[in-house]
Structure 1
């Protein structure tokens, strides 16, 4: 086997390894929203968010189908904020999000996010931006401590940011340097650093019903 042939094989192996790693970094998001009636929503979930539902306006209920599973979601306008609350199949709480315009985000976060897209893509268009409020997870005496659903909702209602983990979820259409176009969901951490990318395979309609 000559040196050129060995070198070619090595390059192919390295390229395959890099491509596989890159594919692992970018997950896939299958999504389809199905509007449902309140009666079809898990009763424990409705009971949990009763304070929000009492004051919510234009409330809508959905079943979100994602790959081989599904979630329940409520979208409502609460205190002039467009919020969505997502639940697992059993009615336990997943996360709470508020729909925002890009210019409503903190300036330093805007700068970090813009810098990321300008550095990594030829073109980009931010379609939908949500602030995600997650419950804090911490270890105490070697055991993982996570707030109960009720406590999580109370912290959100009070916007007790010390006990909530903020992330920024952005759906964007991007064009790579190779002129490849696609829709992706980007998740940025509290400091504006990119944490996760998912390629949107079946894109949810933009007509978010609030």
Structure 2
């Protein structure tokens, strides 16, 4: 009898977790030595040899591993993310909320008001996702201002009060340049001694 009860409880727990469908990002960034970075990634990063504060980072988000190079280029903070094989996945530029086009911000505001009782944007990054498979040229395209070679999205981190009014949380929401929500994940930063901008 006890075993049946425990099995039923376990089954109910699994079903509840699956139905909630809540995707949680548990991000952890750790500085690594350049020698740990994928060779194909280092090859592209040679183009930014004059960048300031170049840092090499290994990132995990709970399930995936990636490598990021963070640096300052032309007075902008950039984060260039690579897969473990060195394929450039995206380029992110930190920006201010006020720099989001006004029309787009209006649409984002409407979306967020539908999702949350209250919200506060805490961080915005403009994301450039390459349209091409020509990995060797992707960073070059960005540096040369050939932005038509990228899909542009916005990665927005928000602190929220949920609709139930009880729960407070943080989300990372990926939004297209047409205000469509592409991904919404509850965000949990794993804290440690390595704080990376």
Q: TM-score, normalised by structure 1?
A: 0.77
Instruction: Count matched residues.
Output: 180
Q: State the match for 1:32 in structure 2.
A: 28
Q: Aligned pair 1:121/2:116, yes or no?
A: yes
> Separation in 1 of the partners of 2:178 and 2:190?
27
2:147 pairs with 161, 172, 193, which one?
161
Alignment match, 2:97: 102
Deviations 1:90-125 (A, max 9, x none): 222111110111111212121111222223211112
Name the SS for the 1:31 alignment partner: strand
Which of 91, 94, 102 pairs up with 2:86? Answer: 91
**The residue matched to 2:23 in structure 1 has which SS?**
strand
1:204 shift after superposition: 6.2
* Mapped pair 1:148 → 2:148: no
Aligned counterpart, 1:9: none
Cα deviation 1:9-37 (Å, max 9, x = unaligned): xxxxxxx99x82xx33x422121111112
Match for 2:59 among 48, 61, 64?
Answer: 64
Whether the 8 Å contact between 2:29 and 2:196 is mirrored in structure 1 is no
- Which runs of 5 or more structure 2 residues have no equivalent in the other structure? 1-14
After superposition, what is the alpha-carbon deviation per residue over 1:41-95, rounded to whole angstroms, capped at 9, x for unaligned?
Answer: 223211112112x221111111102224411111100011110001111222111
* Aligned-partner Cα distance in 2 for 1:68–1:96: 20
Change (3 A) 1:126 1:60: same
**Cα-Cα RMSD:** 2.2
3-state SS in 1 of match to 2:84: coil
* Unaligned stretches of 5+ residues in structure 1: 1-15, 137-145
Runs of 4 or more consecutive aligned structure 1 residues displaced over 6 Å after TM superposition: none
